[in-house]
Structure 1
């Protein structure tokens, strides 16, 4: 068993990684900005990752063997409107965590995104050359470079359109938003021209945990195993959840005035993860079945 630190422990993937690690018997400390918002068997400390001295002090004291860096500013349009905040969260914080990992002799798993690519020729393999556009994408790519430089041998784990239930308090992920809206009988506009790799949060967390446990380095696409457009995802979700697919209104990205650019033909190839990881990227059908099961359990418990 190992000593793990997980950043972004209140977030969609971080909370699931903490729970899985604790379940497997590891010693886990989750780090988050603000008070603990998720109950669990792991310890928790409040740390502002953009304050480099605080990060260094915490990691020196905790002496982790592995760090899963899940924390990030992921709201694409918010990043575009607040570039200083995006830089602090996605670059400064990553550099601080990477330095702390190196000083502690810990293996770093840094979570990144398919948005480091421009979306001109997806889906992308691990060896594709990034070409980010927009503040979110650029800062996430800079975070990758900071991790590589400051924590040699780290893993860069790219994921995409992560969804799960329950959602993070105060913010609905794509899948949770669809369930809430379609479940209420309300129409949703979905992009028919954006191709993505929707990723079930539990599956992503399990792949990150494996990268940490096995101390694997290099670039990994830790995302869903099916590449499709958002309309097709919405219709598949309707079939599993029993919602009316007629509520889905196909639209083109250019029809909406979005603050930040988004890659159109994106998505990630998962051949490497399927071949080399015990935790395989899930195909869409299985992901949605598990998503539906967690949603039903939460409803029964609540």
Structure 2
């Protein structure tokens, strides 16, 4: 059984990986994050505090636990904050990756790195793995720089690009588009939603499964991982309203330009999933199925 170490284990994807490992026992897990462990179950895996911006601490944790693979989920993902704080974004999204790349090369560890659809400019989606990158934001640029570090390294590397991840954990510190839309509509708050951006939203459980499949199959290269349904952000919010039988009349459609966001967003992303389905055996849920899974989890949390 392989030993995997996850970074950012307190985040949504990190917690979903922990959940999956505890339920299915396919690998031995070392979960790491900055600060105390926020996952509610403490048995069945090991937890180590690890700040990815502290290279000495990262080295010490990796040398102690000797993982076969590292799944690197920790990152700055807020696109506007990244645009406004480029140096901090570079530290988290590029420098920290360089630390992991160097250690994985030295110790022959597989490195699975999470990337994003924002490496593309959105002019010609859905995208295949080999399509040319052209980021519009500094967040996207930082992810391209990190991808280049992996592509040029001697370790066994995997880049998993994903899109608009949604899901819920017991202690959600950050929201996502589905929870935001559901919460606002339940309060009866009028909401503005862009109708000129298209995405393929990804259930966090599906992304966690892809991470484990990449380890189990000793994959190498770039893989696109998302849900299978292609929709505009406005359509996504309407589907959320339909699923929970909420009032769609308070949804106003607007253009991206009218939001005056700090960072530019790509218009049409989306992924061609054929390679990931073929090579990894990836089998994503539909958006409707994802909402049903989320609904069941929300009922348990409440």
- TM-score tier (shorter): over 0.9
Aligned residues: 299
1:45 to 37, 45, 48: 48
> 2-side partners of 1:149 and 1:24: how far apart?
34
Alignment of 1:1-302 (within 5 A): 1-25=1-25, 26-40=27-41, 41-166=44-169, 169-299=172-302
Q: Secondary structure at the residue paired with 1:147?
A: helix
Q: Secondary structure at the residue paired with 1:150?
A: coil
Spell out, residue by residue over 1:206-251, the C-alpha distance to the aligned partner (whole angstroms, 9 max, x if none).
1111111111111111111111110111111111112122222111
Preserved contact between residue 240 and residue 292 of structure 1 (Cα < 8 Å): no
Range with greater deviation from structure 2 (135-144 or 278-287): 278-287
> 2-side partners of 1:55 and 1:147: how far apart?
18
Preserved contact between residue 167 and residue 176 of structure 1 (Cα < 8 Å): no
Q: Decide whether aligned partners of structure 1 residues 274 and 23 sit closer, same or farther in structure 2, where only a CA change above 3 A counts.
A: same
> 1-side partners of 2:154 and 2:126: how far apart?
28
> 2-side partners of 1:256 and 1:121: how far apart?
23
Preserved contact between residue 4 and residue 64 of structure 1 (Cα < 8 Å): yes
> 1-side partners of 2:154 and 2:287: how far apart?
34
Preserved contact between residue 59 and residue 101 of structure 1 (Cα < 8 Å): no
Range with greater deviation from structure 2 (189-198 or 35-44): 35-44
Spell out, residue by residue over 1:105-130, the C-alpha distance to the aligned partner (whole angstroms, 9 max, x if none).
22111110000001111111111111
- Which sections of structure 1, spanning at least 5 residues, go unmatched? none
- Which sections of structure 2, spanning at least 5 residues, go unmatched? none
> 1-side partners of 2:82 and 2:205: how far apart?
26
Runs (4+) of structure 1 moved beyond 6 Å? none
Cα shift at 1:153 = 3.0
Normalising by the residue count of structure 2, what TM-score does the alignment of the two structures yield?
0.94
Q: What RMSD, in angstroms, separates the aligned Cα atoms of the two structures?
A: 1.5
Normalising by the residue count of structure 1, what TM-score does the alignment of the two structures yield?
0.94
Cα shift at 1:24 = 2.7
Range with greater deviation from structure 2 (70-79 or 38-47): 38-47
